[in-house]
A and B are shown apart, each in its own frame.
Chain A
Amino acid sequence: MRLIYFAWVRERIGKPQEDVELPGDVETVADLLRWLRSRGEEYENALQYPDVIRVAIDQEHVDHRQKLGAAREIALFPPMTGG
């Protein structure tokens, strides 16, 4: 599964994207954020306030209760500031 990061989430994690194998017990977006935080200081630093993190699965916004299912691309980013 491909993870993509934007803005300060990308800067804090230190890479724009990566491919990961998720453990079987990671079923929802909230599980994914929890699991990522355990992967190292840079992830903890980026995701320490998970409520702030916005998530898109296959380029559509989802909330943190969403099941990951057969997602190909999951993007994590801060609240958007376009316009």
Chain B
Amino acid sequence: MTACEPVVRIQAEDFDLADEVSRLTAGRTDIGAVVTFSGLCRDESGRLAALELEHYPGMAQAEITRIAIEASERWPLQGLAAIHRYGKISPGENIVLVVAASTHRQAAFEAASFVMDFLKSKAPFWKKEHRADGSEGGWVDAKDTDEDALARWKR
């Protein structure tokens, strides 16, 4: 099996889910399953006006590429894409997208989940809150559950 070459993009601008799926599947007849995960900015019950996503430019690309390559070596994928936005993002907007394409669903589900779990704890991005009431927002704390999620992929 030759591993697919993952597509990784770090960008300020929004992305379109349908376009990204089409990009992986266009002209192919061997793909039987596509799993997409998209993460959106939520307003925390009206408390948040926006999130500011800071990132470490070169490393964000490098680290997500490392994670995506590992996924492509571990599961039989025909395509894998990971896109992460940075900058100011309003509630309802997209933050992150993972698309995994495979012959069967199990590999696609697992690979997408694997990429997201590692991306949460290892990709160099940090969220700062902009509050709706105009008060100074803080940095979002990392969750222990995100680190713990990595344990299930150990082998």
Contacts and interface: CB of A to CB of B under 8 A. Distances in A.
A83 interface: yes
Contacts of A79: 121, 141-142, 147
A38 interface: no
Contacts, number: 72
Interface stretch (A3-11, A20-28, A63-71): A3-11
Secondary structure type dominating chain B contacts: mixed
Nearest to B39: A83
B33 interface: no
Nearest to A61: B122
Q: In which size bucket is the chain B interface?
A: 20 to 34
B130 interface: no
Given A78-B126, A80-B121, A82-B119, A6 B56 contact: yes
Contacts of B55: 82
Contacts of A82: 53, 55, 84, 96, 119-120, 123-127
Interface string B125-138: 11110000000000
